[in-house]
Amino acid sequence: MFRAGVGSRMGRTVAAAVLAGGVLLTAGCGSGSGNRATDASYDGGRPDGAPAPVLPDGGKGGPNREGDESAEGKRDFAPPADYLSTFALDVDTASYDYTRRLLKEGGTPTPGQVRPEEFINSFRQDYPRPKDNGFSVTVDGARPNGGADGEIKASRPDSAEYEGEDWALVRVGLSTRPTDPEADRPPAALTFVIDISGSMAERGRLDLVKRSLGTLTDQLRGSDSVAVVTFSGEAETRLPMTRLDGNRDRIHSVIDELEPTDSTNVEAGVTTGYDEAVEGRRTGATNRVVLLSDALANTGETEAEAILERIEDARRDHGITLFGVGVGSSFGDELMERLADKGDGHTTYVSTDEKARKVFVDQLPRHVELRARDAKAQVAFDPQTVKQFRLIGYENREVADEDFRDDRVDGGEVGPGHTVTALYAVRLRDGASGHVATATVRWLDPKTRAPHEESGSIETDAVEGALWGAPSERLQITAVAAYFAESLRGGSMPGAPGLAALEDRARALAEVTEDSAVGELADAIDQAQRRSRD
């Protein structure tokens, strides 16, 4: 495994451009982001019926087929298909948290509600933290078909393409530096946009929001500011931007007085909230809209693009980001997630006071500060060693390869102490040895908007070990989360065990790591098994 620390070097030449063997990979060699390259006979396990892409080598064999080399013994052709995978970073976790609630209450998620990257990113990782405000890059992997207790065959009949020893799981991990609790941080200017529609009357919705905001009000510093906007059929400003210092009781009173009313006009709430955020914007502060809702819009515009089109200037010109907090047993997960993506922010989901405290107390810095704006990742696979690859999840975060270094193209916003993980299924060529891939992250400094990049790479010898015997328990947890998500949405991955075996893995990992979150994952897998037998 190779680990690269953070550097503030700009314009660094990235190994994604020229891979081993002198093969040039241009960013524009494919029409899309190229997040998968697979055999045309296999659909990549995608539940959406997307057409199968072709082999990177066009199905003509390996890289040493006749005509591949010139008289000098050097390769003289560019690969005919895309070996780049490019996506915007995503730190959302709402899909996993909402799925756990559904399963616990006897329901099941639809395939569209399951986003594997949000399952994966719900768990702590073991990546080294950078010393400055950029990213560390960690790339590692393992062989999924095998382990200390013998080989585990894929459990689904449509996973036959994944069987064999030539598949590996490759984990790309990015990490930002946490906030020092004793250090000063920029003040926060938060505009709470609160859903008080009739659907929020259900227990665990508006009542939980009010308790959560009460907790947050107590946690914020005196130098921070908040505004309060509510919406049902219409939007209303309950409190203009107000400093916490000397006004906490006033803010508590405004929140305590909230009561549910009628319909849900998310458009009105978001538009008015951004108006207030712009009016109360503070130079040098983190200016953010915090939307708290079940996102069940039924009045006004109900599509994310239409809602956020009206406040595009506030996002672009003033750098105001959106943090979405979902609540409720029925939750408009897709709308909330797309709002956050379009609004340069992220989402989470809370269903208990314990989860609310985790979000608004334990994880508060990562939700009110920024380490990186418009962050994107690009992974370049070496065609001399890699035959096929597939990125697990991130379908709605794909970025065109040629836009990786176009800083006008939207990426993801990442706060302090966040980790972002991308998991790939990678099929190596027979007898392959050497370089497998180079992963590069590009981001803009939140204050100066200067671009920075950092990279890490991986070789074939780093993916030879068995997954279930891997030295990193966190890599194994990542795999369990991904296998679980793919099972729920009807997909597949190499080496996928059945749910019973997956639950056993999760429980063993929970015991070894003493991580209660992994125990909750095991419980969710068990509940999914029960649903499948009903």
Written as one string, the DSSP assignment of 5-49 is -----SSPPPTTTEEGGGEE--TTSSSS---EE--TT--TT-TT-
Q: Whole-angstrom Cα distance, residue 371 to residue 132?
A: 10
Mean pLDDT in each 10-residue stretch from start to end of the chain (534 residues)?
38 35 31 50 36 34 36 34 88 93 93 95 95 92 66 41 77 92 80 94 92 92 95 95 96 96 88 94 90 83 76 79 89 85 85 88 81 94 93 94 93 92 96 94 93 96 92 96 97 93 97 97 96 80
pLDDT at 36: 65
Are 198 and 263 in contact by the 8 Å Cβ rule? The answer is yes
Nearest to 177 by CA among 450, 362, 372: 372
* Helix (H/G/I), strand (E/B), else coil: 289: strand
Q: Whole-angstrom Cα distance, residue 130 to residue 324?
A: 27
pLDDT at 34: 58
**Residue 106 main-chain phi, psi, to 5 deg:** 95, 5
Q: How far is CA 49 from CA 43, 46, 53, in A?
A: 8, 6, 12
Nearest to 228 by CA among 218, 238, 213, 216: 238
**What global pTM score does this model have?**
0.81
Q: Whole-angstrom Cα distance, residue 306 to residue 288?
A: 20
pLDDT at 37: 60
Q: Whole-angstrom Cα distance, residue 115 to residue 93?
A: 9
Q: Whole-angstrom Cα distance, residue 66 to residue 318?
A: 57
Per the DSSP assignment, residues forming a β-bridge with 88 are: 376
Q: Whole-angstrom Cα distance, residue 263 to residue 233?
A: 5
Q: What is the DSSP-derived secondary structure letter of residue 321?
A: E
**Residue 391 main-chain phi, psi, to 5 deg:** -85, 130
103: alpha, beta or left? (left if phi > 0; alpha if psi -120 to 50): alpha
